[in-house]
């Protein structure tokens, strides 16, 4: 089945800096890669996703890139703000295509 590795596990940046989180996946048949944000004590929520027919997608200060050959994808956050502080999870579809398999999460801390 699918296996998703996520790095780093923790990331601390200064407000205004950029943050990058990287994930690798094992199932070459996977073609959908979402990112979820979970603030402290709250539920995970989708922030951006990418499909295998594109290499990059942007939404304001966040962007995701995908390299299908290398089987890795990354989340980029520019001009970070304190409210970006949260745990970020990457995910990929399982081999059966029925549900998402998540990475271990990255705890992002943005200090002002």
Burial label for 99, CB within 10 Å (0-12, 13-18, 19+), is exposed
What pairs with residue 50 in β-bridges? Answer: 33
Q: Which of 66, 105, 106, 108 is in the footprint of another protein by CB under 8 A? A: 105
43 lines the binding site for another protein (CB under 8 A): yes
Site string for another protein, 53-92 (x = CB under 8 A): ------------------------------------x-x-
Give the 3-state secondary structure of residue 98.
coil
Other Cβ atoms closer than 10 A to 31: 15
Contacting range for another protein; rule: CB under 8 A; set: 36-44, 56-64, 65-73, 78-86? 36-44
Report if residue 107 touches another protein, rule: CB under 8 A: no
């Amino acid at each position: 089945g699918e296996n998703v590795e996520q790095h780093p596990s923790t990331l601390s940046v200064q407000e205004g800096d950029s943050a990058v989180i990287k994930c690798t996946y094992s199932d070459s048949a996977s073609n959908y890669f979402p990112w979820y944000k979970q603030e402290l004590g709250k539920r995970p929520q989708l922030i951006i996703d990418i499909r295998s027919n594109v290499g990059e997608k942007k939404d304001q200060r966040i962007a995701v890139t995908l390299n299908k050959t290398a089987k890795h994808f990354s989340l980029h956050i520019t001009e970070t703000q304190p409210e970006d502080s949260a745990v970020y999870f990457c995910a990929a579809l399982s081999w059966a295509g029925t549900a998402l398999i998540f990475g271990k999460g990255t705890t992002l801390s943005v200090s002002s």
